[in-house]
């Protein structure tokens, strides 16, 4: 079946450094790739998303890149801050009769040390 | 304020009990979802609904059932709770009526943390 692989599972960086999280998807028909941030005890919150007709999208310190040929996409966080510490989930849409299903990656626990 | 609400937030219950987890949204969204998530782990879709009287099972096999009698309400029921049902249950919704191509952004509720003893 369809799946999304996410790496690394944990990531520790110094405040001010950059962080990169990578995901690979299996369904070549996937056309929507959101990233969610989940702080401890909180609900997942969408931080950025990208559609398959775009190769890169940026929002302040956060950017996402998509390589459709290789079927992988990445989240880039620059100038990390302690409040960026959370679990980040990537997801890919599963298309077909049902176009609103998402398959989630296994998550990356990001720790930013001051 | 437009939001997704889940009750209860925490529930500890004994094996064999019947429970219903409530999810309501005031965002006017037509699509709703239930996910199961172990702490810090990936989200697994267990049920979804595209509108009133429309429900389907998700990718993860679940012994729970759902109903969608009203657009804003999507409760999940476990007829006989077991320790293996211990997990966090997240409700989400999305809006396909606002225009633009699918898929649509999913908004999550705060979750119900269920413990079955």
Please report, in tens digits, the pLDDT of each residue of chain B (117 residues total). 789 999 999 999 999 999 999 999 999 999 999 999 998 889 999 999 999 999 999 878 778 999 999 999 999 999 999 999 999 999 999 998 877 777 788 999 999 999 999
- Candidate from B40, B96, B103 with C-beta closest to A109: B40
Q: Who among B40, B94, B111 is closest to A100 (CB)?
A: B94
Per-residue pLDDT band for A100 (boundaries 50, 70, 90) equals: confident
Q: What angle do CA A83, A88, A90 make, to 5 degrees?
A: 150
**A34 interface with B at CB cutoff 8 Å:** yes
Q: Is the pLDDT of residue A59 over 80?
A: yes
Which two tokens mark A11?
């990531």
pLDDT of residue B97: 82
In chain A, what percentage of residues exceed pLDDT 90? 82
Q: Is B107 helix (H, G, I), strand (E, B) or coil?
A: strand
Burial of A113 (0-12, 13-18, 19+ CB in 10 A): exposed
Indicate yes or no: CB of B31 within 8 angstroms of CB of A87.
no
Tokens of B41: 């782990």
Q: How far apart are alpha carbons B87 and B23 in whole angstroms?
A: 16
The residue-averaged pLDDT of A81-88 equals 97
Mean of per-residue pLDDT scores for chain A: 93
d(C-alpha B77, C-alpha B93), whole Å = 18
List A31's β-bridge partners, or say none. Answer: none
With beta carbons under 8 A apart, name residues in chain A contacting B96: 100
The residue among A22, A5, A34 whose CA lies nearest residue A101 is: A34
* pLDDT (mean) for A19-26: 97
Q: How far apart are CA A25 and CA B94, in angstroms?
A: 22
Q: What share of chain A is helix, strand, coil (3-state, %, to 5)?
A: 5, 55, 40
Least CB-CB distance to B104: which of A36, A89, A100? A100
d(CA A112, CA B43): 23
Q: pLDDT-based confidence at A104, cuts 50/70/90?
A: very high
Closest residue in B to A94 (Cα–Cα): B103
Q: Would you state the pLDDT for residue A99?
A: 56
Size of interface A-B (CB pairs under 8 A): 61
> What does the alpha-carbon distance between residue B92 and residue B106 come to, in Å, rounded to a whole number?
6
């Amino acid at each position: 079946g369809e799946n999304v692989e996410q790496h690394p599972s944990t990531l520790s960086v110094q405040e001010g450094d950059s962080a990169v999280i990578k995901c690979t998807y299996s369904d070549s028909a996937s056309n929507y790739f959101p990233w969610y941030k989940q702080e401890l005890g909180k609900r997942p919150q969408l931080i950025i998303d990208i559609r398959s007709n775009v190769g890169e999208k940026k929002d302040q310190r956060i950017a996402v890149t998509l390589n459709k040929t290789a079927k992988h996409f990445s989240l880039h966080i620059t100038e990390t801050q302690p409040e960026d510490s959370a679990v980040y989930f990537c997801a890919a849409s599963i298309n077909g009769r049902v176009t609103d299903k998402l398959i989630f990656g296994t998550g990356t626990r990001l720790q930013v040390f001051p | 304020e437009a939001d997704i609400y889940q009750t209860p937030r925490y529930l500890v219950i004994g094996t064999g009990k019947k429970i219903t987890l409530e999810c309501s949204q005031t965002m006017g969204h037509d699509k709703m979802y239930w996910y199961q998530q172990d702490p810090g782990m990936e989200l697994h879709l267990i049920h979804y609904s595209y509108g009133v009287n429309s429900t389907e099972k998700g990718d993860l096999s679940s012994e729970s059932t759902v109903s969608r009698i009203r657009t804003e309400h999507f409760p999940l029921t476990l007829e006989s709770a077991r320790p293996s049902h211990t997990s966090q249950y997240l409700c989400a919704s999305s809006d396909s009526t606002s225009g633009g191509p699918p898929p649509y952004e999913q908004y999550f509720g705060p979750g119900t943390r269920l413990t079955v003893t």
